Structure 1
Amino acid sequence: MRLESIPEPLKRLKNPPKELNFIGDTSLLELPKVAVVGLRKASTYTKECIEVLCNVLKSANICVVSGGAIGVDIAAHKAAMPKTIGVFASGLDIIYPSQNRTSIGEIYAKGLALSEYDEGEPPLAYRFLERNRIVVGLCEALVVAQADLKSGSMQSARLANELKIPVYVLPQRMGESSGTNFLLANKKAELIDDYYKFASLFGEVKEQKIDDDIVKFCKDGVSLDDALAKFGDIIYEYELDGLIEISNLRVKSVL
């Protein structure tokens, strides 16, 4: 299906898309939006940071926008589900990259998928840069999680700087993210040193339940069965609020 009109934030682009095709929940376009982008070969540390960051954004009713690629993009989508928008460089009938098929299917079913390309249009190289301008243009802020100096993520950061969209980066070690360290050194980005403080800039952050019994119980990781036996189905509410994460039948606090 096609959106009736182009979202207002995209009209600030020099070359806004003429039309956008979509699959999913268009009400997500009404939420505050933060783009999260970065390396396809992201480090384990970066992926862990993204998981916590996007859980906090989700709990503050902020939508996470990215490009569906392997690495940073898909990690952000998965952590933010269902409050996530994927922007794709091909027609929406073509799932690319294929290794993300399951997660992209979730975006279609629970989040929102957008593309300026009609069905059957392949993901040609130049279209990824065109896609990136939509990812950036939709949002109130851009987070570059990890990036090399010469990368699409750095081009996204330059576009955000031009549009006066604030750019943020994660703390990284020397030599592991030359792009984000360059942005910091040249005052073209700000550092995220507190996930909740960052989220509060764009949404309403719920009180941090650090002293909560459930958060304490799950701090070092416990089996899902043990958590359900002790606290019941409220465990799933805590997951939706971004206070805990459930993976491989284990539960762990993200605070």
Structure 2
Amino acid sequence: MENKSVPKDFLHLFKNLNTSPKKLYYKGNLELLNRRKIAIIGSRKMSVYTRNCVLELASLCKRAEICVVSGGALGVDITANKAAMPLSIGIFANGLGRIYPKSNERIIKELYTNALALSEQEWDYTPKRYDFLLRNRLIIALSEAVVIAQADFQSGSMQSARLALKMQKPLYVLPQRLGESEGTNWLLKENKAKLITDFKEFVLNFGEIKEQNQDEFLEFCAKGVSLEQALKHFGEKVYEYELEGKIAINGVFIRVLV
């Protein structure tokens, strides 16, 4: 199967890169490239706390009609991509004909169908280690601001943070405990990033948050229910809403995010 190329008119979005892409391939909705865009990236081994923060932040971005850009990787990236669906852009180091990582296949295929996936690589290309760093530069260049949700000091996310600073992109981090996200804590200490203490306040800097219509399922979950109770009353809708980033399943309990 052949790749579909992104029209050259969109490549100007990457003009501030020293090595801008000569060609980009895509699957999905190119209209998302016309929207305001915020990157949410971070550790593959995120904490439960970080996961919940990312779900809430990305969901609020979606309500403000802001597109979330991330890398489709394990942890923070795929969580952000999932919660922002369909206002979600995944940028991949591999060719779009080769889903990686396979554990994220369900969400990546939804990006292909209902959101947007981008790659510099040919259809069946298998990524090398350095390709992920090259991919990160596209995420940063495309985004108006960058949120590093959680990061070790020596990590790809910190390399992305350095690139964001070099490109003069506003850089933000989440509050984290000592010893749990040494990279983002260092960025705060050195005054290289701003701290997000109120998700709604942060999102309002980029767009207006739209009110949600009343929803019987969300009202049911807001009362504080178990996964078992929700499945009993609403069946597969539970997992549909999780995929859409409207709820988070924390163990045996459900948390409403919107």
Answer yes or no: is 1:124 the counterpart of 2:124: no
- Equivalent in the alignment of 1:13: 17
Residue 87 of structure 1 aligns to a residue whose secondary structure is strand
2:119 maps to a residue whose letter is: S
Residues 68-110 of structure 1 deviation map (CA, whole Å, 9 limit, x = unaligned):
1101111111111111000000111011111111111111111
Residue 15 of structure 2 aligns to a residue whose secondary structure is helix
- Equivalent in the alignment of 2:257: 254
Answer yes or no: is 1:95 the counterpart of 2:96: no
Q: State the alpha-carbon separation in 2 of the partners of residues 83 and 126 from structure 1.
A: 28
- Displacement of 1:8 in angstroms is 2.8
- Equivalent in the alignment of 2:85: 81
Q: 1:93 to 1:46 in 2, by over 3 A?
A: same
- Equivalent in the alignment of 1:192: 196
- Displacement of 1:249 in angstroms is 11
User: Contact conserved, 2:248 with 2:257, CA < 8 A, in 1?
Assistant: no
TM (norm. structure 2) is: 0.86
Q: State the alpha-carbon separation in 2 of the partners of residues 50 and 21 from structure 1.
A: 27
- Displacement of 1:36 in angstroms is 0.8
Point out where structure 2 has 5 or more consecutive residues left out of the alignment: none
Answer yes or no: is 1:170 the counterpart of 2:190: no
Residues 137-168 of structure 1 deviation map (CA, whole Å, 9 limit, x = unaligned):
00001000000111110111111111111010
Residue 12 of structure 1 aligns to a residue whose secondary structure is coil
Q: 1:4 aligns with which of 3, 7, 18?
A: 7
Residue 94 of structure 1 aligns to a residue whose secondary structure is coil
Q: State the alpha-carbon separation in 2 of the partners of residues 193 and 161 from structure 1.
A: 21
Q: 1:225 to 1:166 in 2, by over 3 A?
A: same
Q: State the alpha-carbon separation in 2 of the partners of residues 173 and 251 from structure 1.
A: 24
Answer yes or no: is 1:46 the counterpart of 2:53: no
Q: 1:199 to 1:241 in 2, by over 3 A?
A: farther
- Displacement of 1:120 in angstroms is 2.2
RMSD: 3.1
- Displacement of 1:206 in angstroms is 2.6
Aligned positions of 1:15-164 closer than 5 A: 15-164=19-168
Q: State the alpha-carbon separation in 2 of the partners of residues 151 and 183 from structure 1.
A: 13
Residues 5-45 of structure 1 deviation map (CA, whole Å, 9 limit, x = unaligned):
14433111111111100000101111111111111111111
Structure 1 stretches of 4+ with a deviation exceeding 6 A read 225-228, 238-242
Q: State the alpha-carbon separation in 2 of the partners of residues 100 and 241 from structure 1.
A: 15
Q: 1:110 to 1:148 in 2, by over 3 A?
A: same
User: Contact conserved, 2:43 with 2:152, CA < 8 A, in 1?
Assistant: yes
User: Contact conserved, 1:224 with 1:249, CA < 8 A, in 2?
Assistant: no
1:62 maps to a residue whose letter is: I
Residue 51 of structure 1 aligns to a residue whose secondary structure is helix
Residues 181-231 of structure 1 deviation map (CA, whole Å, 9 limit, x = unaligned):
00011111101111111111111123589xxxx659714236447987xxx
- Equivalent in the alignment of 1:245: 247
**Which has the larger displacement, 216-225 or 47-56?**
216-225
Total equivalences in the alignment? 249
Residue 169 of structure 2 aligns to a residue whose secondary structure is coil
Q: State the alpha-carbon separation in 2 of the partners of residues 52 and 165 from structure 1.
A: 22
2:132 maps to a residue whose letter is: F
Q: State the alpha-carbon separation in 2 of the partners of residues 116 and 150 from structure 1.
A: 25
Q: State the alpha-carbon separation in 2 of the partners of residues 81 and 252 from structure 1.
A: 18
User: Contact conserved, 1:86 with 1:113, CA < 8 A, in 2?
Assistant: yes
Q: 1:12 to 1:120 in 2, by over 3 A?
A: same
Point out where structure 1 has 5 or more consecutive residues left out of the alignment: none
2:180 maps to a residue whose letter is: E
